[in-house]
Chains A and B, each alone.
Chain A
Amino acid sequence: MSEDDERQESPPSDLEFSSNKARNYNATGSGSGQPEIQSPYSDQVLENVLENVLHFLTSRRDRNAASLVCKSWYRVEALTRSDLFIGNCYAVSPDRATTRFTRVRALHLKGKPRFADFNLMPRDWGAHFNPWVLSMAKAYPWLEKVYLKRMSVTDDDLAMLSESFTGFKELVLVCCDGFGTSGLAIFVSKCRQLRVLDLIESEVVDDETDWISCFPEAESHLESLIFDCVESPINFEALERLVARSPALKKLRLNQHVSIGQLYRLMIRAPQLTHLGTGSFSPSEVAGQGDQELDYVTAFAACKSLVCLSGFREIVPDYLPAMYPVCANLTSLNFSYANITAEQLKPIIRNCHKLQVFWVLDSICDEGLQAVAVTCKELRELRVFPFDAREDSDGPVSEVGLQAISEGCRKLQSILYFCQRMTNAAVIAMSQNCPDLVVFRLCIMGRHRADHVTGEAMDDGFGAIVKNCKKLTRLAVSGLLTDKAFDYIGRYGKLVRTLSVAFAGDSDMGLKYVLEGCPQLQKLEIRDSPFGDAALRSGLHHYYNMRFLWMSSCRLTRQGCQEIANAMPGLVIEVIRSSDEEEMDDSVETLYMYRSLEGPRKDAPKFVTIL
């Protein structure tokens, strides 16, 4: 499961296009300053050797570095790059990418900025997959894998995907939209080699098409089928037959329309599963299905390879004991849709000694988190989501839970924690107890809320995090924060690549501290904070090193943004309005700014103005 998976950032591969022109290369690329024997044969040998060696280079960062050595290395690296990652689909055009990299087998493409998930941007902003699939259909007929995040994908795109690439194997759509069940139907019917179809947190229109029945009748190669986000009912009999003819199936995540009785039938057909999303985990509403009488415990016990469990969309807690047999092996458990109490959690969690990833609702309260802290010593990632996501609701979890986790789960690397109240002391404790933290995202849901014990701002807590957690690369702040918090971040957050700010800071100084202090900053998203044009100017030296900057409901003016646009031609500066607003006054509601080799995009909707 992945929400906002962080990928290793690397020096921008797109910027190398322009910087290469400024470089001095040796004609043969064989070294620096030595007299050359102009022998084409030795050049060829060298390139062949290089090609063979570079095949082994998989890290994006290493490849980008290698491509900068000289023209020869640039050429060979481009030939041998099989996995192409593009973090912003507008940073480079499909044609430019396919021209440089000619032998790509897998494409990883990201589109909209993350704040679009929270309705901060009108729909139809862009990030269309269509130009990419058209370009790749011509350039990469051997394409096998496509991974898209926050892209707009249409049914036609899915059809083209299935028709243009005969060996297509894997499609992963995360937070995407624009397609429906009829697109899925065409896609699965034509992709004969399909191994992976993962639909994660995507919006799928219900065209009332029975797409499950459209998988080819022959034995399938399916290894992973994830559709828990699909909100429409599916043809269960067809699914059962599909699972029966997919001997390689390892990952299966069902949607909430699959009852526990149906889950049982699937589990006994696929005991080899490693990843299971349980669907509703409640009995069917149709009377007489006899869901209550099935031996769920045995079904779970038969799944000896199960390491990752999720689902529980409409959980009836009486059925929880069925999962006891698998608890000891679980490394990943997602209860984030299960409204269960601490008492209901405890018998499960006390057996989950190997658990590394745990997503849960705050319905388990601080007490539930304490139980997690007692048992889950291997925990690496914790996410606590709010059942009642409003500012003024009661908060079942607090600093007590955070403190307990910090004391019990010393190996913690990543945390996302929603709460209503927090203290600096607990955050400081976590910074000291969990030195391996790479991701720290704390969301105190009440805006501008202070430490509820001392009444102070949360500056010191976050300051301790950036100071003590030396591996920290991703940070999200909340609560009452002054410019001092940003001073800390700028001073100590030297590895921070992603920063999320909301309702924080006093003045331009806050943003200045960050832009001047954080050399690794790649992604900065800010909302409702008092940062203006002067602060924006202070980042001019750094914007070409960043993937994007988002600022909404801050204090930017059109003039200030225009200055940036004039000073930095390699940036695209989008001013986004709410879609029904016609006026263009001086204040900028939303700024979305990113480096690009292509200049202003041609598919911008009416509510976007590119300066």
Chain B
Amino acid sequence: MAFEKDLNLDATELRLGLPGTSEESEKQTSTSLRPNKRALPDMNEESVSSDSNVAAATKKSDQEIAPPAKAQVVGWPPIRSYRKNCLQQKKSEAEIGGIYVKVSMDGAPYLRKIDLKVYKGYPELLKALEDMFKFKVGEYSEREGYNGSEFVPTYEDKDGDWMLVGDVPWE
């Protein structure tokens, strides 16, 4: 059985098996998808009901009403898009859940995908694999690797080498 380090979550990836194990990554927050056009007040799709931030298009009363603060307004807060984009990337990286890896087992007709972030350690991971592929993995020891089973969990690292799962600390 082998893993491959594959972070490409291509929705068009062909699979023979049941759908449902892999999820698409979170959509980016709406602020980063804002088109680079100036939205007119009434075109601002998120503030259709709250018009109190737009003075021109409304006959606003002289009293100040604090508007609902949820709507995102074009160009506010006044941060240059360059800076916003740089920091947005960092946030997205922090927020997107899931380190997805492909799992294949010798002899199985199709591959599976699992999210490593879901598991807190190797025992959990191995248990999940055992359930998924209906096999037993055997005892792990540093000296001998996995004892007592035909199947051994391995993965391919950055250099392209096949490594035994479990030697490196989980983090």
Interface residues of A (CB under 8 A from B): 3, 115, 117-123, 175, 201, 203, 229, 287-288, 313-314, 336-337, 339, 361, 385-392, 418, 443, 445-450, 480, 482, 500, 502-503, 506-507, 527-530, 553-556, 578-581, 587-589
Contacts and interface: CB of A to CB of B under 8 A. Distances in A.
Contact of A447 (B38, B41, B60, B69): B69
Given A122-B37, A588-B56, 10 more contacts: A120-B38, A120-B74, A201-B80, A313-B86, A387-B91, A390-B72, A390-B77, A418-B79, A443-B77, A579-B38
A530 B60 contact: yes
A506 B55 contact: no
B78 A443 contact: yes
Contacts of A117: 78, 80-81
B39 interface: yes
A528 B55 contact: yes
B11 to A, nearest CB: 25
A518 B159 CA distance: 67
Nearest to B59: A555
B56 A589 contact: yes
**Chain A CB within 10 Å, residue with most, of B71, B84, B157, B159:** B84
Interface in B43-94: 43, 53-57, 60, 62, 64, 66-67, 69-84, 86-87, 90-91
A287 B158 contact: yes
A119 B64 contact: no
A556 B56 contact: yes
B51 to A, nearest CB: 11
Contacts of B80: 3, 117-118, 175, 201
Nearest to A503: B53
A117 B75 CA distance: 8
Nearest to A500: B78
A287 B69 CA distance: 46
**Chain A CB within 10 Å, residue with most, of B34, B56, B87:** B56
B82 A201 contact: yes
B64 to A, nearest CB: 6
Contacts of B84: 389
Nearest to B74: A119
Contact of A448 (B62, B66, B74): B66
Nearest to B78: A118
B38 to A, nearest CB: 5
Contacts of A482: 64
A580 B37 contact: yes
**Chain A CB within 10 Å, residue with most, of B43, B73, B78:** B78
Closest 8 pairs between A and B when the two form their complex, measured CB to CB: A118-B75, A287-B158, A445-B77, A530-B55, A389-B79, A120-B75, A578-B38, A117-B80
Given A201-B82, A339-B90, A391-B69, A447 B76 contact: yes
Contacts of A503: 53, 76
22 contacts: A119-B36, A229-B82, A337-B86, A387-B87, A387-B90, A388-B87, A389-B84, A389-B87, A390-B72, A418-B77, A418-B79, A445-B77, A450-B66, A506-B64, A528-B54, A528-B55, A553-B41, A553-B55, A554-B56, A555-B55, A580-B37, A587-B56
Interface in B14-35: 31, 34
Contacts of B69: 391-392, 446-447, 449
Q: Is the interface of A mostly helix, strand, loop or mixed?
A: loop
A313 B77 CA distance: 21
B64 A448 contact: yes
A581 B78 CA distance: 24
B118 interface: no
Contact of A288 (B34, B55, B159): B159
B62 A121 contact: no
Contacts of B57: 587
B99 interface: no
A556 B82 CA distance: 31
A450 B60 CA distance: 19
Nearest to B35: A119
B9 interface: no
A197 B67 CA distance: 46
B40 interface: yes
Contacts of B34: 119
B76 A579 contact: no
Contacts of B86: 313, 337
Nearest to B43: A578
B38 A122 contact: yes
A563 B63 CA distance: 29
Contacts of A587: 56-57
B40 A386 contact: no
Contact of A578 (B37, B75, B79, B158): B37
A118 B76 contact: yes
Contacts of B39: 578
A288 B55 CA distance: 59
Nearest to B160: A287
A149 B38 CA distance: 21
Nearest to B63: A506
Contacts of A556: 56
Nearest to A447: B53
B79 A385 contact: yes
A391 B56 contact: no
A25 to B, nearest CB: 47
Contact of B77 (A386, A530, A580): A386
Nearest to A339: B90
Contact of A391 (B43, B54, B62, B72): B72
A503 to B, nearest CB: 6
B158 to A, nearest CB: 4
